Amino acid sequence: MILIGIGSNLTSAAGGPLATCEAALARLEAEGVKVLARSPWYETAPVPVSDQPWFVNGVANVEATLDPAKLLDLLHRIEAEFGRVRGELNASRTLDLDLLAYGNLVWQESAPLMPHPRMHERAFVLLPLKDLAPGWRHPVTGLTVDALITDLLPGQQIRAVKP
> What class does CATH assign to 2-160?
alpha beta
Q: What is the pLDDT of residues 94-143, one digit of tens each?
A: 999 999 999 999 998 888 999 999 999 999 999 999 999 999 999 999 99
Q: Count CB-CB contacts under 10 A for residue 118.
A: 12
Closest CA to 100 of 82, 78, 125, 80: 125
Closest CA to 33 of 102, 94, 130: 102
DSSP 8-41: E-S-BTTBSHHHHHHHHHHHHHHTT-EEEEEPPP
Measured in residues, the chain has a length of 163
Helix, strand, or coil (residue 70):
helix
The yes-or-no answer on residue 67 being catalytic is no
Which residues face 63 on adjacent strands? 34
The yes-or-no answer on residue 98 being catalytic is yes
Strand 158-160 vs strand 55-63: parallel, antiparallel, or unpaired? unpaired
What does the pLDDT average to over 8-31? 97
Residue from 84, 86, 146, 151 carrying the catalytic annotation: 84
The yes-or-no answer on residue 84 being catalytic is yes
Domain boundaries, the chain: 2-160
The yes-or-no answer on residue 96 being catalytic is yes
| % of the chain with per-residue pLDDT over 70 | 100
Residue from 73, 77, 86, 96 carrying the catalytic annotation: 96
Provide the pLDDT for residue 90: 74
Rounded to whole angstroms, how far apart are CA atoms 23 and 11?
12
Rounded to whole angstroms, how far apart are CA atoms 92 and 54?
9
Output DSSP code: residue 69: H
Q: Which helix (H) or strand (E) holds 118?
A: none
